[in-house]
Amino acid sequence: MLIMKHILINMAFFLAGAALAAEPLRLVQTIPLPAVKGGFDLMAADVSGQRLFVNAEDNGTTEVIDLKTGKLAHSIKNMHEPKWVVFRPELKKLYIANGNGKLQVLDSDSYVPRGVIEFKEKANNLRYDADTAQLFVGVGKNFGAIAIVDAKRDKVLAEIPLANFPKQFEAEGDSIFVNVPTANHIAVISRSKQAVIATWPVAEAKENIAMGFDRERHRLFIGCGPGKLVVFDTQSGKSITSIDIAPDSDGVSFDAKRHLIYISCADGSLDVVQQIDADHYEFTSRIPTAKGAGTSIFVPELDRLFLAVPQRDGQTAEIRTYSPVEP
């Protein structure tokens, strides 16, 4: 009986190890960007046009990748630390937030400038609400605000002050959830009141920068620099659980089809967490990548995850494309 018990225990450990070793993402393509120097910030996809817009922050360019050919199609130059990009096909506009406070507006086909919206300090993260044609802009370096822009007229409607500069944020209905890392909280903005109506402390770790969202289950996924993923219930404002991950997470994406969370960490890994249900999560995989590769985006319509690898000594800048592996 004792021997059988040991056999069963060993089998359980073997099966657990096998499950952990089975990588849920497979590298399917690498797109070299030899002209890009330094690192990247965030990306956006043109699904129907099969384009990927990648902000090469240190290079001062936004790189346009043709996903059909896997090659660079165009380089938008003369940006100033481009941070975030939003593509709006119905408006034929490309919005690029810059570190000098300028939100550049370009024609998304010709890349010809169509205007600029200027803010006092750095324009960073962007989000868009197609129902209201409103663009939300994270603003500030020595202060913080979320600006609301009428994207049809490219006019600033409001600037909602925060405790300090914002990092990544998400919008749901009347609410905008904003990571404010220096305050170590999530600020909850009411769009109708144009004011912060609540703050949720992130007690589990500091440097709450990255953010992902499961809208169906009302769960925010907060990536914290020291190596924590914290799950918040947006209906109660409470943290549900936290999971150990690699340090320096900057990209958090939720794959609703597979109930997986993909976390790109500049420490040099893609971490994957399984959503068991709304309140329970399990770390499943750590895929080695490259130092500094913290920028990623999962595009569900294409069923692909794109990871930006920076240029460093002995390392050429490139975009790595991953495909989910079906169990």
Residues in the chain: 327
Please check the confidence at residue 213 and state whether its pLDDT lies above 80.
yes
What is the SS3 string spanning 215-282?
CCCCEEEEEECCCEEEEEECCCCEEEEEEECCCCEEEEEEECCCCEEEEEECCCEEEEEEEEECCEEE
Same domain, 160 and 228: no
CA trace torsion 199, 204, 209, 211 (10° rounding): -80
The answer to whether residue 177 sits within a structural domain is: no
Both tokens assigned to 150: 């009428």
pLDDT digits (tens, 9 = 90+) for 169-205: 999 999 999 999 999 999 999 999 999 999 999 999 9
Same domain, 217 and 161: no
The answer to whether residue 157 sits within a structural domain is: yes
Both tokens assigned to 178: 């904003």
Give the three-state DSSP class for 114.
Answer: strand
At which of 169, 191, 218 does a domain end? Answer: 169
The answer to whether residue 4 sits within a structural domain is: no
The answer to whether residue 191 sits within a structural domain is: no
pTM of the model: 0.92
Distance, in Å, from the CA atom of 293 to the CA atom of 308, rounded to the nearest integer, reads 6
> Containing domain of residue 249, as a range?
203-327
Same domain, 208 and 129: no
Same domain, 110 and 225: no
Same domain, 135 and 71: yes
Please check the confidence at residue 5 and state whether its pLDDT lies above 80.
no
Same domain, 135 and 242: no
At which of 147, 169, 191 does a domain end? Answer: 169
Give the three-state DSSP class for 78.
Answer: coil
pLDDT digits (tens, 9 = 90+) for 42-80: 999 999 999 999 999 999 999 999 999 999 999 999 999
* Count of domains observed in the chain: 2
The answer to whether residue 119 sits within a structural domain is: yes
- Residue 326 pLDDT level (bands cut at 50, 70, 90): confident
pLDDT digits (tens, 9 = 90+) for 28-47: 999 999 999 999 999 999 99
The answer to whether residue 62 sits within a structural domain is: yes
The answer to whether residue 10 sits within a structural domain is: no
Q: Domain containing 136 — which CATH number?
A: 2.130.10.10
The answer to whether residue 107 sits within a structural domain is: yes
Q: In the predicted model, what is the mean pLDDT of the chain?
A: 93
- Give the closest residue to 26 by CA, choosing from 304, 308, 250, 274: 304
